[in-house]
Amino acid sequence: MKPYQQIPIVECGEPLTSIPLEQFAVESPHPYEKLGAPYGKASPYYLRQSVLKALINAQADLQHQHPGWRIQIFDAYRPVAVQQFMVDYTFTEVLQAKGLSLAESEQQQLALWEEVYQFWAVPSSNPATPPPHSTGAAVDVTLVDATGKAVDMGSAIDEISARSHPNYYTNQPNQPYHTHRQILHNVMHSAGFLRHPNEWWHFSLGDQLWAWQHNQINPEQSVTARYGAVE
């Protein structure tokens, strides 16, 4: 269990709301749907109502500071079945990248799973420990500039490496990546989001991870999560 999963959830009952995609940049078709992720009748382009409002505010702030730039939505709502699919897919990708097979020792497999779970939440169906994206309160985003070109962040979304850590490029001169990540972080943070400790692209508002981070920063103002899993 990760530390944030110990945060109590007091579900507020706020509905999932369709993201107005015309206001943002979007990768189409959706990257996980291309891989065959089992969304069924669900859509990745939904967020809880207040989370969506905050994202729209972040977009407005970005465009005020950088006219013509847009937030690009990579992924938002994710059913637990999709979380399971992507975790399994990622494990297989890491296995192949290292030239290993499922015949390797149990110890090696456990080490690979630890690597995967640095970045991916456990696809838990337990209502007390939902994956952040399954609550409709987490969103994976990047930026595009005024020409519609993707802003280079120094690593791809979902990359399983240290380069994905938000501050990886902090003290590395002659590169724009940290500055770009800070632009994204600043507009999202000003709207109320908090960034995943290991992922420059993942932001949440109101879920367990957000509440846990909030409490680390503001121990005298402890909060609970207000969004649980939505199926």
Weakly modelled stretches of the chain, pLDDT under 70:
103-104
Q: Going from the N-terminus, what domains does the chain have, and what CATH number goes with each? A: 3-217 (3.30.1380.10)
Strands 25-26 and 194-195: unpaired
Burial class (CB in 10 A: 0-12, 13-18, 19+), 33: middle
Note the pLDDT of residue 107: 83
* Predicted TM-score (pTM) of this structure: 0.95
Give the span between the Cα atoms of 228 and 7, in whole angstroms: 11
Note the pLDDT of residue 98: 85
Note the pLDDT of residue 103: 64
Sequence-distant (≥ 6) Cβ neighbours of residue 213 within 8 angstroms: 4, 194, 197
| pLDDT tens per residue, range 71-129 | 999 999 999 999 999 999 999 999 888 887 776 677 888 889 999 999 999 999 999 99
Q: Which of 183, 188, 194 is nearest to 225 (CA)?
A: 194
User: Does residue 7 come out as left (phi exceeding 0), alpha (psi in the -120 to 50 range) or beta?
Assistant: beta
Query: Is 114 among the catalytic positions?
Result: no
Q: Which residue among 22, 115, 199, 231 is the active-site one?
A: 199
CB of 175 within 8 A of CB of 181? no
Give the span between the Cα atoms of 154 and 151, in whole angstroms: 9
Note the pLDDT of residue 38: 97
For residues 117-127, b (16+ Cβ closer than 10 Å) or e, as one string? eebbbbbbeee
